[in-house]
Amino acid sequence: MSFRFDVITLFPELVDSVVKSGIPRRAVEQNAIELHCWNPRDYTTDKHRTVDGRPYGGGPGMVMKADCLLDTVKAVKQHSTAKVIYLSPQGKPLTQSAVQRFAQQENLILLCGRYEGIDERVIDIAVDEEWSIGDYVLSGGELAAMIVIDVLSRLLPNVLGHEDSAEQDSFTDGLLDCPHYTRPERVENLGIPDVLKSGNHAEIAKWRRQQALGRTKQRRPDLLQKLELSEEDKKLLSDYLKSSSNEERED
């Protein structure tokens, strides 16, 4: 059973490029995902294949027309029963847990806007959910759709090897990731923390947890506020903060 993405876009070659390399490519090769792009220009009925129009009320920019978008959605729905997700800066902020929820379905329809946006009535009629990848304005929803495809690809069973499992990712447990090191043991004048060479797996796990807690507190206190920390986590965090404030004093 593969996860099917249907992407409605004026730039199918751009969206297709997400499965040309890396993990999403592996996901396609393993039949874990399928990507189908649909171009609204193919659902226009006028001689010039017009996909946009000037905004009612005036102002700069162009708005994507409702008719070709609704006809594209109709065509896609003959192949998919999925929810229609519209990518736009007005959407809810996309998070790892939102994508984990998407991954529980079997398919998604991703609608990408261009120009100043799409005719609002398309959203009223055909869109189930609206999501944003961040507080900035892209020139279109394509990069956002590619992000959804990339993030979701690595959550599907068997796409990542055992050695690079998604379970230990940042955000999976609500925390940022701990630091990582590989050979050589010295880079310029920097070594690696002794505990990582100790072979003591319990101590290593404890150190990683402490680093994740400490970095999250320092860099993203908003994430930490959402969590209920155990007594053990609280102790790890307060030790981390004590030693990092000592380091600051030594500097």
Which residues have a catalytic role annotated? 89, 116, 154, 169
The residue among 147 and 166 lying less far from ligand ADE, judged by its C-beta, is: 147
The 10 Å Cβ neighbour count of residue 72 is: 25
Both tokens of residue 50? 């017009």
Among 29, 92, 137, 238, binds ligand ADE (CB under 6 A): 137
122 touches ligand ADE by CB under 6 A: no
Q: Where are the alpha helices (DSSP H) in 30-119?
A: 66-77, 96-103
- Residue 105's contacts (CB-CB under 8 Å, 6 or more residues apart) are 3, 82, 83
64 touches ligand ADE by CB under 6 A: no
> In a 3-state reduction of DSSP, which class is residue 213?
helix
- Total interface residues for ligand ADE by CB under 6 A: 11
Are the CB atoms for 217 and 224 separated by under 8 Å? yes
Please state the closest distance from residue 33 (CB atom) to ligand ADE, in A.
20
Give one DSSP letter per residue of 120-149, joined into a string: HHHHHHH-SEEEESSSS--SBSHHHHHHHH
Contact region with ligand ADE (CB under 6 A), list: 35-43, 86-94, 197-205, 216-224: 86-94
Among 64, 141, 148, 209, binds ligand ADE (CB under 6 A): 141
24 touches ligand ADE by CB under 6 A: no
146 touches ligand ADE by CB under 6 A: no
Query: Computed from CA positions of residues 137, 138, 140, 146, in that sequence, does the dihedral angle turn out positive or negative?
Result: negative
Any idea what the Cα angle at residue 122 is, between residues 97 and 45, rounded to 5°?
130
Please state the closest distance from residue 93 (CB atom) to ligand ADE, in A.
9
The residue among 146 and 224 lying less far from ligand ADE, judged by its C-beta, is: 146
179 touches ligand ADE by CB under 6 A: no
Are the CB atoms for 179 and 204 separated by under 8 Å? no
40 touches ligand ADE by CB under 6 A: no
148 touches ligand ADE by CB under 6 A: no
Which positions touch ligand ADE (CB under 6 A)?
87-89, 132-134, 136-138, 141, 144
